[in-house]
Structure 1
Amino acid sequence: MPRFYFHVVSDTVAVVDLEGSELATLDDARREAVQDARALMSQAVLAGKDISARRIHICDEQGGILLIVQFAETIRRSD
């Protein structure tokens, strides 16, 4: 099973995932990244911060970026 790494990136800093997660597919990794982004934004909102400009780089074991998940794109907007 492939291992995916989820690096949280802002304009000034990156938090590197050193452990990664074994998941069956890139779609599974994307779902996990969306859940992680939502959880991090929820905590930030409670602290009065806006981190919606951050993103998660989903990388493979060689460090190549497979997909970028923008935090702001994980929010369902209701009109």
Structure 2
Amino acid sequence: MTHYYFNIRRHDVLERDLEGAEFATLEEALEEASQAAREMLAEKVLANHVIDGSRFEITTEDGTVAGELAFKSVIRFT
């Protein structure tokens, strides 16, 4: 199991995930990030906030960026 951190990048600001979570694969971590992004976007839509260019930067314990997920990428149109 690898410990991944789901940091949020909003423009030039990085909000660090201090807890992280354990996953067997990066694909499992990306699926968790996708679900979290959907939930966060749903809250933004309900609050009538602008959907901006926020994204998850998924890192390992040593700070290496293992993957990225743009929040907009989880929205399906038609």
Q: TM-score, normalised by structure 1?
A: 0.92
Cα RMSD (Å): 1.0
User: What amino acid maps onto 1:66 in structure 2?
Assistant: A
* Number of aligned residue pairs: 78
Gaps of 5+ in 1: none
Structure 1 stretches (4+) deviating beyond 6 angstroms?
A: none
* Richer in strand (by share): 2
Gaps of 5+ in 2: none
Q: TM-score, normalised by structure 2?
A: 0.93
- The answer to whether the 8 Å contact 1:44/1:50 transfers is yes
- The answer to whether the 8 Å contact 1:41/1:52 transfers is no
Q: Tell me the distance in 2 between the aligned counterparts of 1:31 and 1:52.
A: 21
The residue aligned with 1:27 is: 27
